[in-house]
Amino acid sequence: MTASVVICVYTEDRWSDILAAVDSVRAQSYTALETLLVVDHNPALLGRLTEKFAGEPGVEVLANAGPRGLSAGRNTGIAAARGDIIAFLDDDAVAERDWLHWFAAGYADPRVLAVGGHTEPIWASGRRPRWFPEEFDWVVGCSYKGLPPGKVEVRNVLGGNASFRRGAFDIAGGFATGIGRDGDKRPLGCEETELCIRITRARPDAVLLIDDRAVIHHRVPAGRERFAYFRTRAYAEGLSKALVARSVGAGKGLETERAYSTRVLPAGAVRGVRDFALGRAGGAGRAGAIVTGVLAAAGGYVLGSWRARGAGATFTVAEIDAPAKEVGRAEAAA
């Protein structure tokens, strides 16, 4: 079974991170068929990467053939990929040596259509901020406290460390544009959640897994260690969840979130209060951050739901086909 790796990039500010991500793919124990770098409407970065990897086997640089944003970039990579498995790695992350090995192992069962992994944060300050609760590590694109350990079946994988069987996109289409990130604008998300729910609706017998042995390490810049970003990202998650619920219904769209908000978060808040009572640093801050995160996400969800009812869903599902591949490669060569 062959594997293509797609890395979506958008800024030259992450040049060294991009190169580190590519190097980590090259070092895999399970050799990737190819690494596809998809550049999101940045001609300078496109040209620089094209020059850097010119003539190097196994690495191809493409231009995002769709609208600006992460979802369209991923769809461009999917259309160009030749592997049986298509894996996605964030441009500011590095994969451990057996990352692809554990992904590939998951597809031994033909019912498995997606396998995700475990993402560890690399804090710019060198350590987790004392106030930052592990239950909210999804805010910085990492695995969070509350996810089940081991190799387990899940509703959805997390997009920055995920893989899909190629046939999943034939069944359900690509990532929906209008949900996910667009460079440094408001940090929306949930495009992988919406896709995974579409996959399981189209194939009720499909299995989606997370295997926490497939590990990557994700950089968290200083700006994302700040409380202002934490609050903004939680609010944006609420907006995104409203779009997902509009698309697939609140029952499935919020299934995992209900258990998370009624079990994981209250337990985290209680631990924070207990640590504060015992004089442990950061306890009150963590409890306060959990409450703030919940309120921000709820506010975003309410506003997003109101907007969705008034204007309808503001995203579209892309079909993955050959023309997208050809356009992307043509622009990259220009």
Write the pLDDT tens digit of every residue in 130-164: 999 999 999 999 999 999 899 999 999 998 999 99
Burial of 272 (0-12, 13-18, 19+ CB in 10 A): buried
Q: Are strands 112-123 and 161-165 parallel, antiparallel or unpaired?
A: antiparallel
Residue 185, pLDDT score: 52
- The model's confidence at residue 78, banded by pLDDT at 50, 70 and 90, is very high
Radius of gyration of the chain (CA): 19
Mean pLDDT highest for which of 184-188, 199-203, 325-329? Answer: 199-203
- The C-alpha atoms of residue 108 and residue 102 are separated, in whole angstroms, by 11
Residue 188, pLDDT score: 63
- The model's confidence at residue 327, banded by pLDDT at 50, 70 and 90, is very low
Which contiguous run of DSSP H or E holds residue 166?
A: helix 166-172
- The C-alpha atoms of residue 114 and residue 207 are separated, in whole angstroms, by 7
- The model's confidence at residue 311, banded by pLDDT at 50, 70 and 90, is low
Residue 96, pLDDT score: 98
- The C-alpha atoms of residue 173 and residue 162 are separated, in whole angstroms, by 16
Per-residue DSSP letter, 205: T
Q: Indicate if the pLDDT at residue 24 is higher than 80.
A: yes
- Convert the pLDDT of each residue in 205-223 to its tens digit: 999 999 999 999 999 999 9
8 A C-beta contact, residue 26 and residue 56: no
Residue 323, pLDDT score: 39
- The C-alpha atoms of residue 32 and residue 35 are separated, in whole angstroms, by 7
- The model's confidence at residue 262, banded by pLDDT at 50, 70 and 90, is confident
Q: How far is CA 285 from the centre of its chain?
A: 27
As a whole number, mean pLDDT of residues 73-79 equals: 96
Taking the whole predicted model, whether its pTM rises above 0.85 is answered as yes
What are the Cα distances from residue 118, in Å, to 15, 135, 153, 159, 216?
24, 14, 14, 11, 6
